[in-house]
Structure 1
């Protein structure tokens, strides 16, 4: 086996049969469910368990991240939404209409992550609107995490099903 063949196998754009894609998918959803509104979830658990300084630290970092998320949403939200919609539409068309597997793979990560982004924006708005603190804030962050995990489970299931279907289609095609 020569170097170019090894390199080609390592950087294979047939995503659903590539181990790196599945690792990236797992890391993406692991990170998304660990960081709630950009806050490591262990801070929420520590605040629940210890209270006091840990609770104050959580409220401070939530305030900073909520303010940041809402500022970005208010200042550049329309432009970001238009750009992201364009990218998602392009990926969707290239992937599913023109059958570019790499675009399908990216789309199957990007679409559910965009839902997580919208959910984060809505959660941040609720936290600011109700000036949530203490147990109410921890409950809101926990519910947000559960919803992100639910989106992740559905996304991984759909992606695995689609990837299996693609791999089976490639294996039965005449070579």
Structure 2
């Protein structure tokens, strides 16, 4: 199974199953990104495009551990996040205004229909789309390397980072981390 986490309003067609916290069209499973309802080693590929930055920085390691748990040895991971250092530099240099910097660094996107209204507890839905962690290339590589082998990390669309990696098949640090 190929799994897309945080698929949002536009699930990627190359993935078999799409999960999100919000009830959106074409989302088959609703769940938190750090508590996946899948068996250990049941996923062959995992995509999380513009998802990890929505998790608290205090939960990044736990979240990546969970992704390593569900990903089979040798499975592929594809992570995309905004490059907060690049955006902050653009803002500090006056290349973008504060509103655009806020959009890219803090997220939210309350203008989207999926993020309007409140949940069953009265919490505004846009809060689930706010960013709680900033990444640059070094911090993304360091976080992911704890559980996966990073194969490629690059900039795309000017201010975004993409990381391709895999879960090692041997008893590496990633395997030990999954067992703990």
> Would you call these one fold, judging by a TM-score over 0.5?
no
Larger radius of gyration: 1
Larger strand proportion, structure 1 or 2?
A: 2
